[in-house]
């Protein structure tokens, strides 16, 4: 019997079907976290993952100050996650209503929607139990990216490239927390681990679609998409790795231009480059010449 190669669309549908089978035994992540272990007496991010780590004026501050910064930076990390997941949920919700899409992808989009909603619920539960009032937080608000996230065509390479970066950039920090579990509050570790487990599938799916779109592009379009994604990557890096000055003020650090110091902090830059190196390498492997760092 003659075998024909599956079409690109059939390959995506096959991948969606395979991932959906892994997603099917769903358990609410917020119900799995042992919340009673959440403690303000421990760090919520490893010290090496703090934006000011390596700056002598910060490293010389009392333990309570450094720990409090880890609480505020972790909550900001979750807040930025809520922002991104909120946009993705909107887009997935609309995509699920498209009767022209293959059944397998519609089903997988619903699995993603359920999982992202589960993450957002888990993040909000963390906020509720953190003891830090939400009005003390510096919320993430990037109007240009919000507009782009809502407007890019759902089937475009740029949309899936943006989704992939939006999943990978925070996920690299999740993985760093898991690797340094002994230095961090066990609830923060559990949250990062539960998030990462689902993200591994979301990332695999995003990569499959992006590969599919890139394979159909000429060299010129690849360069254009790679430039756009490089710009987006830098913007996500600012969001997730470089807090604004207001965060340091609300975290109660002594008055100083901490945000500007974080931007100049070579140890921070090296940390971010280390975290995201594999993401950039994989994007280049898909045929997108990303120019970063």
List contacts with Fe ion (CB under 5 A): 116, 119, 167, 199, 202
Shortest reach from residue 116's CB to Fe ion, in Å: 5
| Closest residue to Fe ion: CB criterion | 202
Closer residue to Fe ion, CB minimum distance, 116 or 190 = 116
Closer residue to Fe ion, CB minimum distance, 58 or 166 = 166
Candidates 93, 92, 58, 85; CA nearest to 140 is 85
3-state helix, strand, coil in the chain (%, to 5): 75, 0, 25
Closer residue to Fe ion, CB minimum distance, 55 or 165 = 165
How far apart are the C-alpha atoms of 290 and 280, rounded to whole Å?
Answer: 7
Residues in the chain: 293
Shortest reach from residue 173's CB to Fe ion, in Å: 13
Closer residue to Fe ion, CB minimum distance, 199 or 208 = 199
Contact 114, 26 (CB under 8 A): yes
Shortest reach from residue 94's CB to Fe ion, in Å: 17
Candidates 92, 97, 96; CA nearest to 120 is 92
Distance of CA 239 to the CA centre of its chain: 10
How far apart are the C-alpha atoms of 44 and 181, rounded to whole Å?
Answer: 10
H-type alpha helices, the chain: 8-23, 29-32, 56-59, 63-96, 103-129, 143-151, 157-179, 186-215, 219-241, 245-250, 258-264, 266-285
**DSSP conformation class of 6:** P
Closer residue to Fe ion, CB minimum distance, 43 or 205 = 205
Distance of CA 42 to the CA centre of its chain: 23
Nearest 5°: CA angle at 123, between 117 and 125?
A: 100
Closer residue to Fe ion, CB minimum distance, 71 or 202 = 202
Question: Is it true that the peptide bond before 293 is cis, omega within 30 degrees of 0?
Answer: yes
Shortest reach from residue 195's CB to Fe ion, in Å: 6
Shortest reach from residue 264's CB to Fe ion, in Å: 31
Closer residue to Fe ion, CB minimum distance, 205 or 292 = 205
How far apart are the C-alpha atoms of 192 and 173, rounded to whole Å?
Answer: 8
**DSSP conformation class of 292:** -
Shortest reach from residue 162's CB to Fe ion, in Å: 12
Contact 7, 147 (CB under 8 A): no
Closer residue to Fe ion, CB minimum distance, 184 or 203 = 203
Shortest reach from residue 120's CB to Fe ion, in Å: 8
Shortest reach from residue 53's CB to Fe ion, in Å: 25
């Amino acid at each position: 019997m003659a075998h024909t190669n599956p079409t690109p669309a059939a390959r995506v549908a096959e991948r969606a079907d395979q991932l959906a089978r892994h997603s099917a035994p769903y358990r609410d992540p917020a119900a799995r976290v042992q919340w009673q272990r959440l403690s303000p007496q421990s760090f919520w991010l490893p010290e090496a993952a703090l934006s000011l780590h390596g700056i002598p004026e910060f490293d010389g501050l009392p333990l309570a100050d450094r720990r409090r910064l880890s609480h505020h930076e972790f909550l900001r990390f979750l807040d930025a996650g809520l922002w991104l997941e909120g946009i993705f949920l909107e887009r997935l919700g609309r995509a699920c209503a498209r009767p022209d899409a293959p059944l397998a992808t519609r089903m997988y989009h619903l699995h993603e929607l359920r999982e992202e909603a589960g993450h957002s619920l888990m993040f909000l539960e963390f906020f509720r139990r953190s003891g830090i009032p939400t009005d003390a937080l510096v919320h993430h608000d990037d109007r240009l990216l919000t507009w782009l996230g809502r407007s890019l065509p759902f089937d475009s390479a740029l949309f899936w490239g943006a989704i992939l970066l939006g999943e990978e950039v925070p996920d690299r920090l999740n993985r760093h927390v898991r690797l340094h579990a002994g230095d961090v509050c066990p609830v923060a570790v559990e949250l990062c681990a539960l998030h990462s487990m689902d993200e591994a599938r979301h990332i695999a799916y995003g990569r499959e679609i992006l590969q599919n779109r890139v394979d159909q592009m000429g060299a010129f379009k690849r360069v254009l998409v790679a430039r756009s994604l490089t710009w987006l990557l830098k913007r996500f890096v600012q969001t997730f790795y470089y807090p604004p000055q207001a965060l340091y003020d609300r975290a109660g650090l002594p008055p100083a231009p901490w945000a500007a110091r974080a931007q100049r902090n070579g140890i921070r830059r090296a940390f971010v480059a280390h975290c995201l190196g594999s993401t950039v390498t994989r994007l280049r492997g898909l045929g997108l010449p990303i120019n970063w760092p």
